[in-house]
Structure 1
Amino acid sequence: MAMSRQYESKEPARDAVDVAPGPLVLEFGTPWCGYCQSAQPLIERAFERHPGVRHLKIEDGSGRPLGRSFGVKLWPTLVFLKDGRETARLVRPRKTADIEAALASIV
């Protein structure tokens, strides 16, 4: 599965995320966020080595329950899940190697 390139305006329910099988990365942010835009090349490079990991870009903001349930405060926030359990989290990642290490924790 390839990396998602567009933010989903309709987020999945937390119950669905908690029972999602296998590796999954939730990326919380917005298309207009400068930090989110600058992180995209790093995220894309990391996902090149992990094509089997599902990636969901969730458009976050005030009143969005999924981001609040994960305690997201800054964008982008990447939450790495394996079988619905969080194994790692990166906030405003600056290095591809950090994203790759977190991905390795869920594959």
Structure 2
Amino acid sequence: MGFSDSFTDPEPQRTQIDALPGPIVLEFGTGWCAFCRAAQPLVLAAFARHPGVRHIKVEDGSGRRLGRSFGVKLWPTLVFLRDGRELARLVRPSGEAVIVQALASIDPPV
């Protein structure tokens, strides 16, 4: 569990994602996206505070069904799920604090 720095291959199906238990963050983007690369240190730092949250990086683009099923239009888009239910979403996050806040919505501090 925790932060993943590589894209999931093959792309998971929506039914698989919806069935996953617990807190999960889907990160949609590409390896060549400048916004995605700039966000990586922020995402990594935020995940350090939430090691129990599963992070799934999904390479997105034309013809990619999972991104379309979540309505992804810009990268990176982070979708915060708990037990298959979306509780928060960030598009091109601008700082670590907003990611930490969204993570707390699916993985509250004890």
* 2:18 equivalent in structure 1: 18
The 5 A counterparts of 1:57-96 are 57-96=57-96
* 1:101 equivalent in structure 2: 101
Is 1:43 the equivalent of 2:23?
Answer: no
Deviation of 1:11 after TM superposition, in Å, equals 1.0
Deviation of 1:7 after TM superposition, in Å, equals 1.4
The superposition leaves residues 73-104 of structure 1 with CA deviations (integer Å, 9 ceiling, x where unpaired) of: 00000000000000000000011000000000
Where does the alignment leave 5 or more consecutive residues of structure 2 unmatched?
Answer: none
- TM-score of the superposition, structure 2-length normalised? 0.95
Aligned to 1:105, the other structure's residue is in SS state helix
Deviation of 1:10 after TM superposition, in Å, equals 1.4
Matched pairs, number: 107
Aligned to 2:106, the other structure's residue is in SS state coil
Distance in 2 between residues matched to 1:11 and 1:98, nearest whole Å:
26
Aligned to 2:88, the other structure's residue is in SS state strand
- TM-score of the superposition, structure 1-length normalised? 0.98
Aligned to 2:46, the other structure's residue is in SS state helix
Distance in 1 between residues matched to 2:2 and 2:19, nearest whole Å:
21
* 2:31 equivalent in structure 1: 31
Distance in 2 between residues matched to 1:79 and 1:15, nearest whole Å:
15
The superposition leaves residues 7-48 of structure 1 with CA deviations (integer Å, 9 ceiling, x where unpaired) of: 124111101111110000000000000000000000000000
The superposition leaves residues 33-79 of structure 1 with CA deviations (integer Å, 9 ceiling, x where unpaired) of: 00000000000000000000000000000000000000000000000
Where does the alignment leave 5 or more consecutive residues of structure 1 unmatched?
Answer: none
The CA RMSD over aligned residues, in Å, is: 0.7
% identical equivalent positions: 66
